[in-house]
Structures are given as C-alpha cells and as structure tokens.
A = this chain, B = another copy of it.
Amino acid sequence: MRRQITGFSNPTVKLLRSLRDKKQRRLHQRFLAEGLRLLTDAREHGRLPEMLVMAEGRDEHPLLQALEADVLAAGGEVIETSADILSKITGKDNAQAVTGVFAQWDTGLAQLDRAAAPIWLVAQALRDPGNLGTMLRTGDAVGAGGLILLDDCADPFGVEAVRASMGAIFTQSLAQASWDEFSGWLRQGDGQLVAASLAFGSQPYRGATYQAPCFVLVGNESRGLPAEYESACDMHVTMPMRGSADSLNAAVAAAVLAYEVLAQLSPETAISPR
C-alpha cells in the first residue's frame, strides 16, 4: 500500500521515531535501516522492509523503484513524507532519502548451524554499537557464519550498529545469549573457543593452531573478559603490543585475529601464491 504522511504528529511518525530507542525497538521488535545502499543489500539477501519511508522530491533511482515494487508485492507499505519529517524520524539534519522499517529476527543460538562456517565471532558485553557493526562487517569479509553476543552487549539493531555493519546485519547470523547458554551450546558439538587475551600464558596469535569451527572471542572494551570465561577457553592468543598501550580496539582485535584464522583455515584464498 502507498500512502502519504504530512503531519509531524502522525502515529506512524511517532512509531518510527521511537525506534531510535532500544527499549522501543525491543518492544516493537522492529528496527530502522537508512539509505538506498543498505536497503538494496538487504533486498539482495532476501530481507525486505515492512515499510519504506521516502522523502518527496527525491531523485528517482532504478534500485529504489525495484525496492518499492518488491515491498508492495510483499504486502508492505511505501510511505512518502517531507524531508523535514524524515529528518525528524532519523534524527539527522541531512536524512538519507529513504529509510526502511524491518522486523527483527529470531536470534537464538538454536538458529545457528556451526558447521556452516569455519569462523564465528563472539563479543562479550561490547558496549559500543559501532564496534558491533564493525564486527558484523568483518565477519562478512572473513566468511564467518555470524556474530554471537554474550551478556549485556549494545543493541545490534540500533541505527549506529546497523550503519557500521554496512549491510552485514542482513547477511551474518546473529545470536544473543548468556555465557551459560553459550558455553552449554558450544560444548554440545565441535568448536574451538579462542580468546583474544592479555592473560598469562597467552600465545602469539600468529602460529597458534586454529581449528574449524573456530569461535573468536573478544571481551568488553574496558574490562576485557571475565576470568571465568577466560579459563573456559580452549586457547588464549595475543597480538604484539609494541607501544605503550596494552590492548587494541575490540573490533580491531577481532579482525586481526579473524584474518589470521582465515589464512590458516582457508589458505588458498588468504595467502598470495609465491
């Protein structure tokens, strides 16, 4: 269905605005993704928005028209509104010309098929949504199966995380679990749990022996991993720290480690022939 919204106080505008808030996203089980590129990535991976919101007087684009057609065919809504109202919804002065409202999907561990990929990324209590989105993006790049969020992480469906994921929110599996749920699930099958760690006994990340499916675990930005989690890992690896700092950004640590795992587990694609 197509419709037009002209008033700031329209209930749909209020609903959309509310989705910038984590509690409201959880309540409605909906999230926003902004921009034609992101929405096209989603469409290419079979994720269509339930609602497409566009500014009047936007530039027409064949990809946008294709998206509109698909949303309408799937029974969704295509809404036109003013640039001002769209800015109010997205909270940005310079709103992208199109925003989609998606239903969140189930994110239980039961949805994951660990055999589907050699690498999985695991984040524990990561608080920065940009880091989560970047981990999703890196996961896509290394051919990971998905991202598992332990404990109290930032919301992967928040606008900042979705944006930083550059579309990977639509391609990577996502599971949210407590540590107990995760460790119980992990030990029901194959899986090597590798912590990026500064703990005593950590070995250099290069030359360590990784095994698929390899679960690459990084901890909270300030506190790192709890000791109990560290001791449950199969291996602890560390990156060289040549300067005065003692740690890397969490998303950077995950990426450096994941690319090393990739090089070992899929050397044909990662290493230059010589």
Contact = CB atoms under 8 A, between A and B. Distances in A.
A136 to B, nearest CB: 10
A17 interface: no
Contacts of A259: 239-240, 256
A190 to B, nearest CB: 20
Interface stretch (A81-89, A148-156, A262-270): A262-270
A141 B245 contact: yes
Nearest to A204: B272
A44 B245 CA distance: 12
Contacts of A166: 245, 247, 249
A158 interface: no
Interface in A114-160: 130, 134, 137-143
Interface centre among A138, A205, A259 (most CB of B within 10 A): A259
Interface string A198-239: 000001111110000000000000000000000000000001
Interface of A: 41, 44-45, 130, 134, 137-143, 164, 166-168, 171-172, 203-208, 239-245, 247-249, 251-252, 255-256, 259, 262-263, 266, 269-274
